[in-house]
Amino acid sequence: MATIDFYFSTLSPYAYLAGTRLEQVAARQNAQINYKPMDIMALFGRTGGTPPKERHVSRQEYRLIELERQAKNNGLAINLKPAHWPTNAAPSSYAIIAAQSADGGDMGALVHGLMRAVWAEERDIAQDDVIKSCLQSAGFDPALADSGLLAGAERYAQNLEDAVKAGVFGAPFYVTEDGARFWGQDRIEDLERHLAG
């Protein structure tokens, strides 16, 4: 079975705009997804990226134009200036890491649900009740939010190291087991073509 390392931040609007298309590709191509939430701001610092607030005003303006355009193209609601962005992405990332080792839920639904909470629902994914609600909606035990925090923190840090080593510099970023890299929600079709051979 092919594998896809999916590097993302639960705060990334572009990862949100991917919806669950990655999961659909994985199902069609019989591939397994390794969900690797990471600290995007730390990644920027390590790979030469610039946080959105520090970019030239023309880049900031175009980012908003592109987010609105891509949301419309993908049929997703988006608030370009969400009330709880940025927030602490670590707690939601730890929950994703814990859920990946648990049974009974839908990982794609969980990941997308957390990002939708930020970008469409005005909810703060650093808050325990929001994380538990997203876990439950995706079919997971909400108590996962309270378990494995040390292991989650260690894996979260390791995901950043793995990302840098794999040549990742943004989110969403997809890396196949043969080392092919695809950056951005608009490269999912290219990823599928690669998996299909």
Give me the pLDDT at residue 147, please. 86
Strand order through the sheet with 31-37: 31-37, 2-8, 173-176, 181-183
85: which 2 tokens? 């962005």
Give me the pLDDT at residue 118, please. 98
Angle 149-166/40-47 helices, nearest 10 degrees?
30
Give me the pLDDT at residue 111, please. 98
Beta-bridge partner residues of 37: 8
Q: Residue 42: is it exposed, middle or buried by C-beta count within 10 angstroms (0-12/13-18/19+)?
A: middle
Give me the pLDDT at residue 103, please. 78
pLDDT in tens, 73-127: 999 999 999 999 999 999 999 999 999 999 789 999 999 999 999 999 999 999 9
End-to-end CA distance of the chain: 14
* CB neighbour list of residue 181: distance below 8 Å, 6 or more residues apart: 166, 167, 168, 173, 174, 175
Radius of gyration (Cα) for the chain, nearest Å? 16
Give me the pLDDT at residue 13, please. 98
pTM across the whole model: 0.97
Give me the pLDDT at residue 94, please. 97
Give me the pLDDT at residue 66, please. 97
DSSP per residue over 70-107, as a string?
A: HHHHTT----SS-TT-S---HHHHHHHHHHHTSSSS-H
Asked if residues 144 and 102 have their Cβ atoms less than 8 Å apart, the reply is: yes
Q: Where are the alpha helices (DSSP H) in 29-186?
A: 40-47, 57-73, 90-100, 107-119, 128-137, 149-166
pLDDT in tens, 29-41: 999 999 999 999 9
pLDDT in tens, 124-179: 999 999 999 999 999 999 999 998 889 999 999 999 999 999 999 999 999 999 99
Q: Which domains does the chain have, with CATH numbers?
A: 2-196 (3.40.30.10)
Give me the pLDDT at residue 144, please. 95
In a 13 Å sphere around the CA of 85, the CA atoms on its Cβ side amount to 22
The residue with tokens 């610092």 is 45
pLDDT band at 4 (very low <50, low <70, confident <90, very high): very high
